[in-house]
Structure 1
Amino acid sequence: MPEETGAPITIAMLGCGTVGSEVVRLLTEQAADLTARVGRPLVVTGVAVRRPHRHPDVAPELLTTDAEALVDSGPDVVVEVIGGIEPARGLLLRALKSGTSVVTANKALLAEYGPELYAAADASGADLYFEASVAGAIPLLRPLRESLAGDRIARVMGIVNGTTNYVLSAMDATGAGYAETLDEAGRLGYAEADPTADVDGFDAAAKAAILASLAFHTRVRAEDVHREGISGLRAADVAAARTLGRTVKLLAICERVVDGTGTESVSVRVHPAMIPRQHPLASVGGAFNAVFVEAEAAGQLMFYGQGAGGAQTASAVLGDVVAVARNRVAGGRGPRESAYAELPVRPMGQTPTRYHVSLDVADKTGVLSQVATVFAEHEVSIAVVRQEGRSDDASLVLVTHTASDAALRSTVDRLAGLPAVREVVSVMRVEGEET
């Protein structure tokens, strides 16, 4: 039953950094509009932080260092923007088990412990919302779990990390190397002092796990995601992509795969890949995010916008707060976990992919024949082959048709052992093309 009209919806904030401070600001500045939209006032009753003196913009009476006591004080909604696993996990389970609804932006926590959080929410009847955990301000997760709930999603492929997209976009535009471009990204504020989570793909992998779980009604954890970062990329790799009419992006790819027997599985991976310049994702530059969704009935959809930033992420958090508050006012509940499909996660070795391979070879008769024989032995078909230079500067560039990743990897390993191949210069996957 709907609750009695007029009582405010109380909100406890866990964390007040870049995102949390923006949430508090928006709740204050837009209080009248939010009250009209929800039907009740939204009131912040406390803000848990580690160092209260660092938050002069928050009313002193709201600040506390005792997060557990704040959760136990009985708010209607707990908003978590701390990040990381602990203490966030313990605090959110504490809230959900008591019947308090939760809004979180914590991708790492959801990718590891989402089912546990869902179970606690289901047991108490609380809501669990997390739009801000993937792609910042872009409305993406709600369409996947609500708007497209009646459709069958085949593939979700996107750019979900702004730091790596900025670096790759700049390398493509300027021809600069990886290290110098990352340094520049740090100076401009696009990369953290320690960019490991971004450039090594951990951030994107957590987001891919969440996307795959929603899209395919299957529990996917971060550890299920094949992950490769961009730190090994060279300016020459990006230049090679340009020569072939492609660009390089770090992609999160979640797809439904059907094998020869008709058995379905889910492939979830994060890695750099070449995509055609005419693909919708190719034009996504700078620190922007974009996700391309392919569904059986809806067709192709693309979601694009700011994937990070205090105000942008706060917008998604506040949207969830409004949704939770409306549910409480109306006596309803938000979407629950949907994991009925229980599809197996396909190992990367069995996943169908394509490769771009660059070889430094001896410029002599029969080299191409030797290389082609190795591909044939592993049942990998060559789509494009190009020879560049002569003598000591000779190189072969090959692009394959689709084959299992294991077969492609074995082919590359075998090529590296050929006497005529001086070096396997680079190997990169190719995505976004019909084969």
Structure 2
Amino acid sequence: MIAYRNLRVALLGAGSVGAQVATLLSEHSEELAARVGAGLDLVGIAVRDVDAPRSAPIDSSLLTTDAMSLIESADIVIELMGGLEPARSYILHALNSGADVVTGNKALLAAHGPELLDAAEQVGAQVYYEAAVAGAIPIIRPLRESLAGDRVKRILGIVNGTTNFILDKMDVEGESFESALATATELGYAEADPTADIEGYDAAQKAAILARLAFHTDVPVEAVHREGITNITAAQVSQAQKAGYVVKLLAICERLTDPETGIEGVSARVYPALISRQHPLAAVHGGKNAVFVEAEAAGDLMFYGAGAGGIETASAVLGDLVSAARRHVAGGPGVAESTHANLPILPIDSVSTRYQITLVVSDAPGVLARIAGLFSDHGVSVEAVEQSVGTSSAVPRVGGTGESSGTATLVIVTHEASERALSRTVKAIADQEVVVRVQSVLRVEGA
């Protein structure tokens, strides 16, 4: 029997996710009340334009443009507007008004997460944000609560469905990047302006959030090394297939020690990488997301599912809403996050991994030995080399006039090496007269 008073819920934003949240709240109100121990009354929905079309039917009497007044009347505020402002101001106002907040705003959390969480702690409120990373996949709560007593070593995440769809198309169907992007746009996986996805900005925001939770350290999004997938070619994907790899855009959060300085810290980075087809992440197809966690005591854990979509993300929002409502019924202050380890954020140069370097070189005697010598000179150990001879008789060098001989392609896979050593090696190789071009450098992860 429900004895607690009904809780007032304010919704900010009625886009694809917000509209679904409003619909599900209405459709499942009795079931949610039974789970919480109190009724959940949606008292209003703040929007910019009350007459704009919605992706799901909404009671127009709930719509308002007066977000501040709506916030002040609520016990729980759900922010699904997106962007930095006015979302940040609204959330701070909600917390200072005594409300808990549920948000799916990854950009805001990556940029202002510590400020918002500190504000919540000061007033005994709580910010819930399961929907901010990987849509419907429960990953925030496991990191924040279930693994809080463990020592997370590394996280490998496919956290952007658009890029995974594109790379999967290139791998499975042999499409070019441009063709796969066009297909993603046509099917609604990519926005009209896909820059945030294909250049890795979206994944970097999520990496900052995951790293903060996993390593109890504030990680500014500006400290996340970021590379996109726009330079990935069909030839690279085909080459990866032959070598037993698949190309994925990975968000990697790792506790590591700089090999030169000995400093222990946190690395957060996003880039396209090769991953073995035997690794669980290699089987993540289409627009799906997955997060692979390596913990000291728990071992390897993988979380897989829909990383986006209105109703899928709404599921995560409602889960947070139920948690917030239960806390109101039970009483007591919000639980503060453990984000005070203050480990240093290490640059990309501190990372050590394996690499695949593809070179186009002059097809002449002694070239391979010269290249191998440069790897040795810079302390990078070569694991395997594959050579294929080209047919061109006059391939221009970058900045040069051309080569009279034919060319060969060298695909070199290294043992684990530091990013510093690898960068020095590649620079030295690129300066060689016999090297037509460094075609690509891809990191190998997940080993």
| CA distance 1:329–1:55, shift in 2 (3 Å) | farther
1:26 corresponding residue in structure 2 = 24
Does residue 161 (structure 1) correspond to residue 160 (structure 2)? The answer is yes
State the AA in 1 paired with 2:300: Q
TM-score (norm 2): 0.94
- Alignment RMSD, CA only? 1.3
Distance 1:218 1:322 in 2: 27
Structure 2 counterparts to residues 349-428 of structure 1, below 5 A: 349-390=349-390, 392-428=406-442
Distance 1:181 1:262 in 2: 43
1:99 corresponding residue in structure 2 = 98
Does residue 193 (structure 1) correspond to residue 192 (structure 2)? The answer is yes
State the AA in 2 paired with 1:410: R
1:341 corresponding residue in structure 2 = 341
Q: Which string of whole-angstrom CA distances, capped at 9 and with x for unpartnered residues, describes residues 304-357 of structure 1? A: 000000001000000000000000000034431211211001110121122111
Does residue 265 (structure 1) correspond to residue 265 (structure 2)? The answer is yes
Does residue 48 (structure 1) correspond to residue 46 (structure 2)? The answer is yes
State the AA in 2 paired with 1:288: K
Question: What is the SS of the residue equivalent to 1:53?
Answer: coil
1:284 CA displacement: 0.3
Distance 2:353 2:84 in 1: 33
Q: Report how many aligned residue pairs link the two structures.
A: 429
1:207 corresponding residue in structure 2 = 206
Distance 1:71 1:390 in 2: 66
State the AA in 1 paired with 2:61: E
1:59 corresponding residue in structure 2 = 59
1:124 corresponding residue in structure 2 = 123
Q: Which string of whole-angstrom CA distances, capped at 9 and with x for unpartnered residues, describes residues 5-40 of structure 1? A: 331111100000000000001100001100100011
2:400 corresponding residue in structure 1 = none
Distance 1:129 1:335 in 2: 11
Are 2:124 and 2:334, in contact at CA under 8 Å, matched by a contact in 1?
A: no
| CA distance 1:30–1:143, shift in 2 (3 Å) | same
Structure 2 counterparts to residues 75-154 of structure 1, below 5 A: 75-154=74-153
Are 1:145 and 1:335, in contact at CA under 8 Å, matched by a contact in 2?
A: no
Q: Which string of whole-angstrom CA distances, capped at 9 and with x for unpartnered residues, describes residues 111-144 of structure 1? A: 1101110111011111110000000000111000
State the AA in 2 paired with 1:399: V
Distance 2:437 2:262 in 1: 39
Moved more, 251-260 or 145-154: 251-260
Are 1:251 and 1:271, in contact at CA under 8 Å, matched by a contact in 2?
A: yes
What stretches of structure 1 of length at least 5 have no aligned partner?
Answer: none
Question: What is the SS of the residue equivalent to 2:51?
Answer: helix
Are 1:98 and 1:124, in contact at CA under 8 Å, matched by a contact in 2?
A: no
- List 4+ stretches of structure 1 deviating above 3 A: 259-263, 332-335
Question: What is the SS of the residue equivalent to 2:322?
Answer: helix
2:275 corresponding residue in structure 1 = 275
Are 2:10 and 2:76, in contact at CA under 8 Å, matched by a contact in 1?
A: yes
Distance 2:390 2:138 in 1: 52
State the AA in 2 paired with 1:45: V
| CA distance 1:328–1:362, shift in 2 (3 Å) | same
TM-score (norm 1): 0.96
1:224 CA displacement: 1.0
